[in-house]
Structure 1
């Protein structure tokens, strides 16, 4: 579950984008840290907080794994997982949590907007990333509102598989989450996820290689579950 296949670190490595890259500042975050939340931002430099409204930042993941999620009472819904090269804007109603020690490149939104105006070469990839965000959000809403959990899990497995290289009919996928967090991502219980993975394995759709690592043996049958 990610917003886009565009790696913005690769884009920023282009010589003509050096001025934009130099505008970002690098910051490290430890695993499990909540970096941004709807009401506050947790760990920005004091100087940055004085200059800008809280949470008003664009960031790109340089390393690590970051989770974007919504929280309503005791329920959480994961929107996306950000990997190196992925971008997000912090002024939203979502929480931003570090799942693996991460390094982020941060830039306040007003400065980012000015850079976009003066460096048009960066506009096209950003528009594509934002379009991917919108498409992903609509897909999540559709899944939670209209699809049962079997369909949601099948879609997640296919999305994870296509993030990896390899034969399209037999892909290795690593579930990046604990059973509890995966259940929260799909809006169901941990037991339900465990049962479905076992069923997929019994039906010959998946093969379990080790804990958290599966091989898709029959992607066509997995896709049939989407309809």
Structure 2
């Protein structure tokens, strides 16, 4: 979305957005905040989650270029020092009408988010923590992995706490399962924040069997 709006013919739209810095750990938006804006992540990473009686349910992470709305029941929190762009929904709605290419891109982004939400919900309801962790690791490999002599290498700078919130398990359970996968040789640590899935096909087959 940032790349599209930076194009000359759309630059006037980008100028309607106001920039806001969000320190790590700060709440960008929530159900108790009266705001009705379109939000685009310019830099950093935001977490979108639901909170109920002290429990948190992570839906997805917003990365650079992702678009979202502050007018939802979800809480949006900066998990890194971030910069976001904001504009009122009413103003942006007219730009979408006038520029169908923006609507087309938004459809793809929001479709991916919806698919991710369904994956999370399905995993929480029907599968155990081990299955959810394997599915999450495979999704990282498929999304940004590269084939190397070590297997499918991918970057992951999420903390174990972050991952536990995504798969809906305690930090201790997530850490234990992650260590078992490393001990069994399913994944290896290549460098700081970089891992490799040793045999993608084998791990995918095992996940399919767990889901039966």
Same fold flag (TM > 0.5): yes
Count of residues in Structure 1 that have an aligned counterpart in Structure 2 = 207
Q: Measure how far apart 1:17 and its partner are.
A: 1.6
1:155 to 120, 129, 135: 135
Aligned residue in 1 for 2:79: 99
- Residue 32 (structure 2) aligns with: 39
Select 1:205's aligned residue among 172, 180, 186. 186
CA distance in 2, matches of 1:94, 1:123: 23
> What is the alpha-carbon root mean square deviation over aligned residues?
1.8
- Rounded to whole Å, the distance in 2 between the matches of 1:131 and 1:66 is 18
TM-score under structure 1 length normalisation:
0.84
How far the C-alpha of 1:104 sits from its partner, in A, is 0.5
CA distance in 2, matches of 1:180, 1:140: 16
Q: Which moved more, 1:217-226 or 1:71-80?
A: 217-226
Alignment correspondent of 2:96 = 116
1:18-59 C-alpha deviation (Å, 9 max, x unpaired):
22212111111111100101111xxxxxxxxxxxxx221111
Distance 1:220 1:183, change over 3 A: same
Gaps of 5+ in 1: 1-7, 41-53
Per the alignment, residue 178 of structure 1 pairs with 159
Q: Does 1:19 pair with 2:15?
A: no
The normalised TM-score by structure 2 is 0.89
Of structures 1 and 2, the one with the larger relative CO (CA 8 A, separation 6+) is 1
Contact kept in structure 1, 2:144 and 2:155, CA below 8 Å: no
Mapped to 2, the partners of 1:204 and 1:26 lie a distance apart of 45
2:112 equivalent to 1:132: yes
Structure 2 residues not aligned, in runs of 5+: none
